[in-house]
Amino acid sequence: MRIPSDGFVTLGRSSVDQSAVTGESIPVDKAPLGARTPRGDQPVPAESRIYAGTVNGPGVLESEVMKLSRDSTLARVVRMVSETQAQTSPTQRFTDRFQRVFVPAVLILVVVLLIAGLVIDEPFSATLYRALAVLVAASPCALAISTPSAVLSGLARAARGGLLIKGGGPLENLGTLRAIAFDKTGTLTEGKPEMTDVERAAGVTETELLSVALAVESKSDHPLAAAIVTAARDRLDGTPLLKVGAVTSITGRGVSALIDGEEIHIGKQGLFSEIDGASLTREITETAARLEASGRTTMVVRRGIRYLGVLGLMDTPRDSAATVVTRLRRAGIRHMIALR
């Protein structure tokens, strides 16, 4: 369910999809704040803070609202976009100021020329011709609509190419840009996690590791579980699915199940310090640390007392990302920043 307002968790644990607000492709685990209730400008820890417009995962959360709907993070984003769209370019502002004087002046001059026949001795047709010639040459209407028409044309052309430009100001400034900041998730990347690494422990086959992970995670509705299931099926290529029983979701930590009477645990490293059984081995700890240092989200797999290995997941780059960055550099963009 979509979270209705900014606040903090007071009861329950769950994973929340915050990609619409923070750009994080991996759901963020949320836990209760505890007995301390923040007041005023006191900060709320990230693991307890929730935002309006984000989507709750498998768990149930109770929260306390901290802000009015008009002051929520989502409302402020909408307000910022609206204010940006109202911005006009420097050329538009200059044209608007100039035409306030120029257009009335031309119209007054045309009227004066129309009555010039009363002062000088000439046919009215000649007077009318002269007035119309001045009106056409000065062309105040063209001046008034030229810049807005050019801006509208540019915005429409960009929109047909899938590019949203928020007003004439940003459109005119495009020609002077030397730096671009990318929202990494969904822009340079696919916007969804994929399993990229399968690190098996000594004496364990990749087939055993993936078979166990596939059987258990196929019973879970977590986004990371879906990524593991998709990749494991591709790698196993038709290997029969193991029978799984007693599947239990450990919200914010992982999942447990039974296969052939053996207890299976798949989850974060912190899970294995909270449950009974064999402690994390040095090999597993070092492997998980190495994968996390390279930007992966890690899932440790344990079967009974044996650790089978570590699975690494991350939001993978789009195929076209490298080409886009290269072409932007050729266009004169010197600095490119990816926001996490």
CB of 184 closer than 8 Å to CB of 340: yes
Give yes or no for residue 308 having a pLDDT over 90.
yes
90 or 207, higher pLDDT: 207
pLDDT at residue number 157: 87
Q: Tell me the three state secondary structure of residue 154.
A: helix
Tokens of 211: 């078979």
Q: Which of 101, 125, 99 lies closest to 114, judged by CA?
A: 125
Catalytic sites, residue numbers: 183
pLDDT of 225: 86
Q: Return the pLDDT at 81.
A: 66
- DSSP labels, 299-316: EEEEETTEEEEEEEEEEE
H or E stretch including 17?
A: strand 14-17
The segment(s) of the chain belonging to CATH 3.40.1110.10 are: 189-317
Predicted pLDDT of residue 35 = 59
Higher pLDDT, 134 or 87: 134
What integer pLDDT is reported at residue 171 of this predicted model? Answer: 82
Q: Is CATH 3.20.10.10 the classification given to domain 189-317? A: no
What band does 83 get if pLDDT is binned at 50, 70 and 90? Answer: low
Dist CA 284 CA 97 (whole Å): 69
**Degrees, nearest 5: CA angle 157-162-164:** 75
Query: What's the confidence (pLDDT) of residue 4?
Result: 87
User: What's the CA gap between 90 and 15, in Å, rounded?
Assistant: 46
In the predicted model, what is the mean pLDDT of residues 260-287? Answer: 88
pLDDT band at 87; cut points 50, 70, 90: low
